[in-house]
Amino acid sequence: MDGHWDGYDSVGGSVPLDLVNTVSWRRDPARRDDRLSTPVRLSEWVVLVGAGDERLEISEAVLETVKAFRETLYRVLVSDPPDAGPLRKSLVSAYRHAELAPSLPLRWTVPLVNDTALPHILALATEDLLRSGDLDRIRECEGPGCGWIFTDHTRNRSRRWCSSSDCGNRARAKRHYDKGARDKVPRD
């Protein structure tokens, strides 16, 4: 990989959230960076997050399908109240291509035999995430402009940033700067 993924960490806590996080600075149009800019980037990401063991040859059509799914998932996650309805089409299609594993607990899988399986794998992983009991722990980073999504695994549910060393550090530095600026203002 050529450094395109520098600064990208799998902070979401699941493959679907990490997919959403392939857009950096989502809420800041001037800085927005779509890391899935080419089929090769998507192939690298699949390996990076462990969704596949080897790089796939991915078509432009599959790239566009995955990116559209990513944006739909983001809208579902940040909607209030959440509405999973827009995911229906992707899930129905995934089940058409899925196989039921011959073991318990029941689990639908889609073998990653070619690139066309990837959107179905991502849809089923999303369904697993959205069926989990951790939905109230899914948060959006409070960093201005960030837009990354993560699962808050802290005991007291107090995580505020995608990364304490990134957005969290910026927030602490801003607080420190603002405090210093307030202290320097002459008072009458």
Q: What is the DSSP string of 96-113?
A: HH-EE-SSSS--EE---S
Cα distance between residue 98 and residue 52, in whole Å = 16
68-118, pLDDT tens digit by residue? 999 999 999 998 887 888 999 999 999 999 999 888 988 899 988 889 999
127-185, pLDDT tens digit by residue? 999 988 778 889 999 888 899 899 888 888 888 878 765 675 654 555 545 555 555 66
Domain boundaries, the chain: 15-136
Question: Among 1-5, 34-38, 122-126, 169-173, where is mean pLDDT lowest?
Answer: 169-173
Q: Angle 60-78/39-48 helices, nearest 10 degrees?
A: 60
Long-range contacts, 173-178 (Cβ 8 Å, 24+): none
The model scores a pTM over 0.95: no
What pLDDT shows up at residue 86?
A: 92
The structure tokens listed for 158 are: 């107090």
Res. 58: pLDDT tops 90: yes
- Sign of the alpha-carbon torsion through 104, 11, 46, 15: positive
Q: Is 121 exposed, middle or buried (0-12, 13-18, 19+ CB in 10 A)?
A: buried
Decide: 131 and 123 in contact? Cβ < 8 Å.
no
